Amino acid sequence: MGKLYSEDSIESLSPLEFTRLRPGVYCGDTTYATQLLVEIVSNSIDEFRNGFGNQIDVIINKDIVKVADYGQGFIPNSFRDDGKTILEAAFSVLNTSGKYREDGTYEGTSLGSFGIGSKITTYLSHWLTVSTSRDGQYEIVYFNEGVFKERRTGETKQNIHGTTVFWQPSEEFFTHTEVEINKVKDLFKTISCLCPGLTINLDNNGEKISYYSTKGLNDLVDDAVSEKEIINNRFNMNFIDGKNKMDMVMTYTSNYSSTLVPYVNTGLTESGPHITQIKTTLTREFNKFFRDKKWLKDKDENLTGDDIQEGMYLVFNITAPNVSYDAQVKSRITKIDTKPFIQALTENLQIWLNNNEKEIKLIADKALNARKARDAAKKAREAVRKPKEAKKQKLLNLPTKLVDCWGKDRTKCELMIAEGDSAASGLIECRDAEINAIFPIRGKIIAAYKNTPEKIFANQEVINLIKAIGLDLDSKTSKLIYDEKKLRYGKILLCADADPDGASIRNLLIEMFWWLCPELILNGHIYTTMPPLFRITTNKNEYIFLKDESALNEYKARHQGEKFLISRNKGLGEQDSSELADALVNEETRNIAQIVVSDENEAKQMIEMLLGTSVPPRRAFLLQHESEANESD
């Protein structure tokens, strides 16, 4: 039986007490103190968007942060009925703001609309100091652990105006009191593109960067699409109707995925009716245009949104009054009047489509190929789906060349992908049948980033590989659905010769796994075997395997004067079962390495650059690193 209520069970907490008890309610993720900086900078951005101040200075010194803007500033030394000044109340009294009303100074279109952001920065910091200058006066307010400490006032030069905030986040509320600097840099870069004319100066522990954009959203798109863009004339839209504004840039790339970057009042959003209705409008207008041009036949079904959006990169910023959000972090919009924006989008899009028919044909071809790929992925999913009638049928659905293991704990089982039937046969002889499954492939598998999904899923080697792994295929995304419970092997070992051809085979397999299911790599399931390059035969006829020339030189140095025979190891297909056992199976003698990704975005860019269809960036990379390759030789 649980505890009974007592007189002390029901508590009433002050806003300060509640925020410090439950910081995640207002702050969201409390791993880092980044959100506090976002809240203060958002206020400075609102000032710029309202026509006051074109510069924001941010200084970070370890976990101490300073933000200064040159906006209109608060009215200094103006007291309210509760005895607090406007400045003090703005940083200490919850739900205090000048941004609520549509007929107010900010016309209801500011990002800071709850009257909470600056307060949580005060509440969740060891100390916070805020100063404002305006009309020849200044006021400085000091807070300690969220509580007002003192105020200073005085006169200043008539032309000085703006607000400066200093604070130190408290480790009581954040796992790390520092900000996520890469996230902050990305944010400032984006904000400068959303707000052309605004300069953001960042001093991060002595590293100084200035962010400024001349082309607005197009600067953001330039950096994102790089050399993958397939059209020359982007869709650009600048719509203004009173308080309603929308800037949008859309282009298409050679990628198979789509990217939509939706901002509202300069805040990045994750979901809401604005995203849904913009996607619906794009799908409707593209399908209509494709039919008018007979690229879609009367008997053809409309293309889906996913088909049309393949390769699309779209970024927009909507300025709208009275937007409703589901939380202080403002990532999900629950209410927004989209009618004026959708009407404007429809009109502008129709003009763009009609004026760029040749380029739109490229988009149509890409969308039609996407549908073919979706159909191919659906067939592939049906081909790899395991029958549900009986366990025996499930086993019969596995690839015929797969020599499976019988272990029940599949997390301990290994799938050894071997180059060629000869190597596979030797591995079958020497394997531990409980945990080692052997799967031969014929040389180099199809290059994922140089082929369409349709061609990839028409490749029998790929289908067999998917069947062996055991994961389901999502026909909508053409990707494997990562589910550790369905994964048939805890380790997937790439077994290839220790020569350039073997390296190429391993790289193509890594590329294929990254394309099919990057989670397999990110979660540590993919390993590469590193067969020894040399074998030492001692004067006692014992074998010692050495992985590379460096190991060989070390061995020679340690055994000077001794007699031994050095032989370069044969390819895996030429080794007998006992040699393969030592090189690939025996955990005490084999040498394997887990494929590890330290930065997912960087890995994605690197794989697409080195293995994708675009030649110039790959050539530039190879020329830049030519000396390293020569050194390794």
| 242 has pLDDT over 50 | yes
Mean pLDDT value of segment 423-430: 82
**50-59, 95-104, 216-225: least confident range:** 95-104
Distance in angstroms (rounded) separating the CA atoms of residues 6 and 46: 47
How distant is the alpha carbon of residue 34 from its chain centre?
17
Residues 455-480, mean pLDDT to the nearest whole number = 83
Q: Model confidence at 419, in pLDDT bands (50, 70, 90)?
A: confident
What is residue 153's three-state secondary structure? Answer: strand
Judge whether 251 and 225 are in contact, CB under 8 Å: yes
Integer Cα distance of 196 and 172 in angstroms: 38
Angle between helices 273-292 and 357-384 (to 10 degrees): 110
Strand ranges (E), 145-206: 147-155, 162-169, 199-204
pTM for the predicted model, two decimal places: 0.62
- The pLDDT of residue 271: 77
pLDDT score for 103: 41
Question: Does residue 567 carry a pLDDT above 70?
Answer: yes
**Which is more confident, 177 or 117?**
177
Determine the average pLDDT of the residues in 81-107: 67
**Residue 220's CB: how many other CB atoms inside 10 A?**
21
Residue 633: predicted pLDDT: 45
Give dist(CA 582, CA 22) in Å, integer: 57
Percentage, residues of the chain above pLDDT 90 = 27
pLDDT at 361 over 90: yes
- Residue 385: what pLDDT? 55
Contact 246, 319 (CB under 8 A): yes
Using the predicted structure, report yes or no on whether residue 202 has a pLDDT greater than 90. yes
Range with the largest mean pLDDT of 50-59, 108-117, 445-454: 50-59
- The per-residue pLDDT of the chain, averaged, comes to 82
Q: What is the pLDDT of residue 68?
A: 93
- 384 contact partners, CB below 8 Å, separation of at least 6: 463, 466, 467, 472, 473
Q: In the structure, what pLDDT confidence band is assigned to residue 390 with cuts at 50, 70 and 90?
A: very low
Please determine, for residue 422, whether its predicted confidence score (pLDDT) is greater than 50: yes
- Distance between CA 210 and CA 186 in Å, rounded? 12
Helix ranges (DSSP H) in 470-568: 500-516, 518-522, 549-558
Would you say 296 and 201 are in contact if contact means Cβ atoms under 8 Å apart? no
Give yes or no for a contact between 175 and 32, defined as CB atoms under 8 angstroms apart.
yes
Highest mean pLDDT among 224-233, 279-288, 609-618: 279-288
* Residue 411 DSSP label: G
How far apart, in whole angstroms, are the C-alpha atoms of residue 309 and residue 313?
8
Alpha helices in 388-499 (DSSP H): 391-396, 421-430, 453-457, 460-469
pLDDT of residue 18: 72
Q: What is the predicted pLDDT for the residue at 563?
A: 84
What is the structure's pLDDT at 396? Answer: 43
Lowest mean pLDDT among 497-511, 551-565, 614-628: 614-628
Mean pLDDT of the region 315-339: 77
564 compared with 101, residue with greater pLDDT: 564
CA 263 to chain centre: 17
Of the pLDDT bands very low, low, confident and very high (cuts 50, 70, 90), residue 106 is very low
Q: What kind of fold does domain 385-531+577-597 have according to CATH? A: Rossmann fold (3.40.50)
Helix (H, G, I), strand (E, B) or coil at 346: helix
Q: What pLDDT score was predicted for residue 397?
A: 57
For 217-373, give the CATH class. Answer: alpha beta
pLDDT at 162: 92
222 or 384, greater pLDDT: 222
What is the rounded distance in angstroms from the CA atom of residue 344 to the CA atom of residue 325? Answer: 24
Rounded distance between C-alpha atoms, residue 156 and residue 427, angstroms: 83
State how far the alpha carbon of 265 is from the alpha carbons of 16, 185, 195, 298, 304, in Å. 28, 19, 10, 42, 29
459: CB partners within 8 A, 6+ apart: 445, 446
User: Residue 113 pLDDT > 60, yes or no?
Assistant: no
User: Candidates 3.20.80.10, 3.30.565.10, 1.10.287.130, 3.40.50.360; correct CATH number of 15-211?
Assistant: 3.30.565.10
pLDDT digits (tens, 9 = 90+) for 79-89: 888 888 889 88
Q: Where do runs of H (alpha helix) occur along 431-499?
A: 453-457, 460-469
The yes-or-no verdict on residue 459 having pLDDT over 70 is yes
Domain-by-domain residue ranges, the chain?
A: 15-211, 217-373, 385-531+577-597, 534-568, 607-633
pLDDT category at 132 given cuts 50, 70, 90 is very high
Residues 6 or more apart from 616 whose CB is under 8 A from it?
227
Q: Choose the weakest-confidence range: 64-73, 132-141, 199-208, 589-598.
A: 589-598
Predicted pLDDT at 95: 66
Q: From residue 140, how far is each of 34, 67, 398, 470 by CA, in Å?
A: 24, 14, 73, 64
Using 50, 70 and 90 to split pLDDT, how confident is the model at 381? low
